[in-house]
Structure 1
Amino acid sequence: MTRVPTRAFAGVLALSLAATGAACSSAKPQSGGITTITVMGIPPTTKAAARQTYLDQVAAFEKANPAIHIQTTDAAFDATAYITQLAGGTAPTMLLVPLTEPAGLIARHQVADLSTAAKDLPVYGQFDPRVLENLKDASGKLYGIPTSEYALGLVYNRSLFSKAGLDPDRPPATWDDVQAYAKQITERTGVPGFAEMTVKNNGGWRLTAATYSRGGAMEAQQDGRFTATVNNPQAVAHLTQLKKMRWQDQSMGTNQLLNYNDVNSGFAAGNFAMIISDPGYYTSYINQFKGDPASFGAGAYPQAGGNATLVGGQAVMVNPKATAAQQAAILKWTDFYYLRPQYDPAAGAERAKSNKESAIPVGVPTVALFTADVQQKIADAIKPYVTVDPKNFAPFVSGTATLQYKPEPPVAAQSLYASLDTAVQAVLTRQDADPATELATAQKSATTIVQQAQQ
Structure 2
Amino acid sequence: MKRSRLNRTLAVLLVAGVGLSSAACGGDEDSPAADGKVTLVVNGLPPATEAATHKRFLDNVAEFESQNPNIKIDAREGKMDPQTFAAKLAGGQLEDVFYVYFTDPASLIAKRQVADVSKYLKDFPAAQQVRPEVLKVFSDDKGGVYGLPYKNYSLGLIYNRTLFTRAGLDPDNPPKTWADVRTAAQKIAALGDGHVGYGDYSKNNTGGWHFTAELYSLGGEVATKDGETWKAAFNNDLGRQVLRQLHDMRWADNSMGSRQLLEWADLLRMMGSGKLGMYIGTADNIPTIVNQYKGKFPDYGLGPIPDGKATLGGGEGYMFNAKASPEKIRAGLKWLTFWFTSPDRVEAERKWEAETKQPVGLPEPNIFAGEGATKQAAAEKKYANVPQQNYAPFAAAMGSIPVKFEPPNAQQVYAVLDVPMQKVLTDRNANVDQLLADAEKQVNSILATVR
Letter in 1 for 2:274: G
Structure 2 residues not aligned, in runs of 5+: 6-24
Change (3 A) 1:265 1:81: closer
> Within the alignment, does 1:54 sit opposite 2:57 as a pair?
yes
**Partners of 2:52 and 2:356 within 8 A in 1:** no
**Partners of 1:157 and 1:273 within 8 A in 2:** yes
Using the TM superposition, name which of 391-400 and 378-387 deviates more.
378-387
Could you tell me which residue of structure 2 aligns to residue 356 of structure 1?
354
Change (3 A) 1:280 1:82: closer
> Within the alignment, does 1:112 sit opposite 2:106 as a pair?
no
Change (3 A) 1:355 1:81: closer
Using the TM superposition, name which of 94-103 and 36-45 deviates more.
36-45
Letter in 1 for 2:218: R
Letter in 2 for 1:160: L
Could you tell me which residue of structure 1 aligns to residue 21 of structure 2?
none
SS across alignment from 1:182: helix
SS across alignment from 2:201: coil
Could you tell me which residue of structure 1 aligns to residue 17 of structure 2?
none
Letter in 1 for 2:103: T
SS across alignment from 1:238: helix
Q: Percent identity?
A: 38
**Partners of 2:313 and 2:403 within 8 A in 1:** yes
Could you tell me which residue of structure 2 aligns to residue 15 of structure 1?
none
Once residues 49 and 37 of structure 1 are traced to their aligned partners in structure 2, the CA distance between those partners, rounded to angstroms, is 23
Change (3 A) 1:351 1:434: same
1:170 corresponds to which of 168, 173, 177:
173
Change (3 A) 1:78 1:381: closer
Once residues 58 and 312 of structure 1 are traced to their aligned partners in structure 2, the CA distance between those partners, rounded to angstroms, is 27
Letter in 2 for 1:419: V
Q: What per-residue deviation string (whole Å, max 9, x for no partner) do you get for residues 42-90 of structure 1?
A: 2346656644543332232122112223333446436897677667655
Could you tell me which residue of structure 2 aligns to residue 416 of structure 1?
413
Cα distance, 1:332 vs. partner?
Answer: 0.9
SS across alignment from 2:240: helix
> Within the alignment, does 1:130 sit opposite 2:127 as a pair?
no
Q: What per-residue deviation string (whole Å, max 9, x for no partner) do you get for residues 402-450 of structure 1?
A: 2222223342x33432332222111011111012212333345445556
> Within the alignment, does 1:318 sit opposite 2:315 as a pair?
no
- Counterparts of residues 185-200 of structure 1 (less than 5 Å): 185-187=188-190, 191-200=195-204
Could you tell me which residue of structure 1 aligns to residue 150 of structure 2?
147
> Within the alignment, does 1:430 sit opposite 2:427 as a pair?
yes
SS across alignment from 2:245: helix
2:267 corresponds to which of 263, 267, 270:
263
SS across alignment from 1:123: helix
Could you tell me which residue of structure 2 aligns to residue 303 of structure 1?
307
**Partners of 1:26 and 1:90 within 8 A in 2:** no
- Counterparts of residues 8-407 of structure 1 (less than 5 Å): 25-26=27-28, 28-32=30-34, 33-44=36-47, 47=50, 50-74=53-77, 76-77=79-80, 90-187=93-190, 191-220=195-224, 231=235, 233-303=237-307, 307-340=309-342, 343-344=343-344, 347-371=345-369, 373-381=371-379, 383=381, 385-407=383-405
Cα distance, 1:393 vs. partner?
Answer: 0.7
Cα distance, 1:229 vs. partner?
Answer: 5.4
Letter in 1 for 2:367: L
Change (3 A) 1:147 1:59: same
**Partners of 2:347 and 2:375 within 8 A in 1:** no
**Partners of 1:201 and 1:417 within 8 A in 2:** yes
Once residues 225 and 320 of structure 2 are traced to their aligned partners in structure 1, the CA distance between those partners, rounded to angstroms, is 23
Once residues 449 and 58 of structure 1 are traced to their aligned partners in structure 2, the CA distance between those partners, rounded to angstroms, is 42
**Partners of 1:216 and 1:232 within 8 A in 2:** no
Letter in 1 for 2:431: D
Could you tell me which residue of structure 2 aligns to residue 16 of structure 1?
none
Change (3 A) 1:253 1:98: same
Cα distance, 1:396 vs. partner?
Answer: 0.9
Letter in 2 for 1:267: M
Letter in 2 for 1:358: T
Letter in 1 for 2:438: T
Letter in 1 for 2:361: G
SS across alignment from 1:110: coil
Q: What per-residue deviation string (whole Å, max 9, x for no partner) do you get for residues 317-342 of structure 1?
A: 222333333222111111123123xx
Structure 1 residues not aligned, in runs of 5+: 6-22
Once residues 365 and 27 of structure 1 are traced to their aligned partners in structure 2, the CA distance between those partners, rounded to angstroms, is 42
Letter in 2 for 1:309: T
SS across alignment from 1:387: coil
Using the TM superposition, name which of 93-102 and 443-452 deviates more.
443-452
Change (3 A) 1:233 1:69: farther
Cα distance, 1:299 vs. partner?
Answer: 0.8
Cα distance, 1:206 vs. partner?
Answer: 0.9
Size of the aligned set, in residue pairs, is 430
Letter in 1 for 2:332: I
Once residues 162 and 80 of structure 1 are traced to their aligned partners in structure 2, the CA distance between those partners, rounded to angstroms, is 45
TM-score, length basis structure 2: 0.83
SS across alignment from 1:155: strand
Using the TM superposition, name which of 323-332 and 421-430 deviates more.
323-332
Letter in 1 for 2:169: L
TM-score, length basis structure 1: 0.83
SS across alignment from 1:132: helix
SS across alignment from 2:139: coil
Change (3 A) 1:416 1:403: same
**Partners of 1:135 and 1:144 within 8 A in 2:** yes
**Partners of 1:24 and 1:74 within 8 A in 2:** no
Once residues 52 and 298 of structure 2 are traced to their aligned partners in structure 1, the CA distance between those partners, rounded to angstroms, is 32
> Within the alignment, does 1:441 sit opposite 2:441 as a pair?
no
**Partners of 2:3 and 2:264 within 8 A in 1:** no
